[in-house]
Amino acid sequence: MLERLGFLPAAASTHAARVDALYFFLIAVSGFFATLIAGLIVTFAYRYRRRAGSETPQPIKGSLALELTWSIIPFGIAMVIFFWGARLFVSVHTPPANALDVFVVGRQWMWKVQHIEGRREINELHVPIGRPVKLTLTSEDVIHSFFVPAFRIKQDAVPGRYTQEWFEATLPGTYHLFCAEYCGTEHSRMIGHIVVMDPADYQAWLSEGVPAGANAASGASTGVLAVAASGEALFQRLGCATCHRGVSGALGPALGGLFGTRVKLQDGETVVADEDYLRESIVNPQAKIVEGYQALMPTFQGQVSEEDLMQLITYIKALRGS
Ligand code: CUA
């Protein structure tokens, strides 16, 4: 209804109704208190106005009941907002396990999108309806923000790290994509479209843009996708396999089955091998040295682009333990 009147963008994802509900709750609470306070100001100003020049007001002592009331009720309301908001925030940032992987790299001034099956696009993102899509975002230069009002999602793309967000589109159509973080001269033109398609159309679209044989060559039957295949080629070209040979006594730790596990470091700390850890270990290998290994690895900062990193990480994620 409000969407049709132009007060709200279309509600085209599973997050939309839940985000709107919280939004309207905040509006209702603000509206209620704004009205109450404005009403009381006017009423009291009239009711307790000075009637005679000689009038002296009665001094007021404290009222415990009153003070408790105006402390406890706002505290309760603030806690409702906090827990409601936190739940929503966590669920918007916790992608379901079956989500499609899409990588997004922001740069001045465009959005580069890479589908894990291989297809790339710029300032456009095609997604199937009714399927969770997980976005992994980063930036090549400054902070950008990936904002899709119709999905009620907004996530910063930060240089030097990955951020994640997910959505599930519910309505076919084309929706606005904006950059919502001022990022330079052409910030306002860093815009694009999200195209929500039927699953069948999406499959057809996906296979269109991938060079013939790319998926076959990468062994689609073994579940290795085009991006992982590009990552493997890079892995060989950069000579990673020289040290990460996956055998005991190798100079670098084995990478098979590494993703998602806990890694013990030299300083006794333990970290989870997630995308950010892998990224950091490639561009800044000295930051976290795995227990039992030496700080021998050179940095690959400047030698690999954000897209290269993403491909390498996808390849490492796809490696099974051997
Ligand atoms: Cu990118 Cu604003």
Q: Of the candidates 158, 189, 208, which is a domain's last residue?
A: 208
Q: Is 287 found in the same domain as 269?
A: yes
The CB of 177 under 6 Å from ligand 1? The reply is no
Q: Is 170 found in the same domain as 133?
A: yes
The CB of 181 under 6 Å from ligand 1? The reply is yes
Distance 139 CA to ligand 1 centre (A): 10
Q: What is the DSSP letter of 221?
A: G
- Taking Cα atoms as reference points, which of 265, 272, 260, 255 lies closest to residue 292? 265
Token pair listed for 44: 């009291």
Kindly state whether residue 48 falls inside one of the protein's structural domains: no
SS3 call for 7: coil
Ligand 1: atom nearest CA of 190 is 1
pLDDT in tens, the chain (322 residues): 666 667 788 888 999 999 999 999 999 999 999 999 999 999 999 998 888 888 888 888 889 999 999 999 999 999 999 999 999 999 988 889 888 889 999 999 999 998 887 788 899 999 999 999 999 999 989 999 999 999 999 999 999 888 989 999 999 999 999 999 999 999 999 999 999 999 999 988 888 765 554 444 444 433 347 777 788 888 888 888 778 877 777 788 888 888 888 888 888 888 888 888 888 888 888 888 888 888 878 888 878 888 888 888 888 887 875 5
The CB of 104 under 6 Å from ligand 1? The reply is no
- Taking Cα atoms as reference points, which of 146, 58, 70 lies closest to residue 110? 146
Token pair listed for 256: 């098979």
Overall domain count for the chain: 3
Query: What is the domain-level CATH number for residue 182?
Result: 2.60.40.420
d(CA 205, CA 200): 9
Residue 163: count other Cβ atoms within 10 Å of its Cβ: 19
Distance 108 CA to ligand 1 centre (A): 7
Q: Is 303 found in the same domain as 219?
A: yes
Token pair listed for 196: 């929500």
- Taking Cα atoms as reference points, which of 121, 127, 150 lies closest to residue 197? 127
Taking CA atoms only, the protein residue closest to ligand 1 atom 1 is: 144
Distance 178 CA to ligand 1 centre (A): 8
Q: Is 233 found in the same domain as 298?
A: yes
Buried/exposed 215-242: b ≥16 CB within 10 Å, e otherwise: beebeeeeebbbbbbbbbebbeeeebee
Q: Is 253 found in the same domain as 175?
A: no
Buried/exposed 188-200: b ≥16 CB within 10 Å, e otherwise: eebbbebbbbeee
Q: Is 120 found in the same domain as 145?
A: yes
The CB of 179 under 6 Å from ligand 1? The reply is yes
Distance 183 CA to ligand 1 centre (A): 4
Token pair listed for 236: 């060989």
Distance 182 CA to ligand 1 centre (A): 5
Range of the domain at 294: 214-318
Question: Which residue is listed with tokens 């076959």?
Answer: 216
